[in-house]
Amino acid sequence: MTPTETPLLDQAFERLSAALDRLELAATARLDAEQGLEPLETELAIMRDDRSRLAVELDGALARNASLEHATREVSQRVGRAIGSIEAVLGSANGGSGNAEAEGRAT
């Protein structure tokens, strides 16, 4: 190696060392950033699981609500028919006057 090549070689080593230092800093920063994302990714996975569970629960609640609405309509119709039947029976028992209380006092 000649004396003129030595400074060039030293400069190359310094540039290489600086580049390696920058690479190490970049790698460390990248690892820190990825480790910082891990808790966020875990939280996101938990939230997705919760969302799926809540969607299933909501579907069940909506189905139950529809079933209850159907039952309510059916009961309402039956009560209406029962009221109509009772009114018809009371009306025919009272001679068709429709005023059972008034006739009860008249006797």
User: Which residue has 């009272």 as its token pair?
Assistant: 94
- CA 29 to CA 22: how far, in whole Å? 10
9 Cβ contact list (under 8 Å, min separation 6): 1
Per-residue pLDDT tens listing for the chain (107 residues):
677 778 888 899 999 999 999 999 999 888 888 787 788 888 999 999 999 999 999 999 999 999 999 999 999 999 999 999 999 999 998 875 545 454 454 44
3-state class percentages of the chain: helix first, strand second, coil last, to nearest 5: 90, 0, 10
**Widest CA span in the chain:** 142
Tally of CB atoms within 10 A around 100: 13
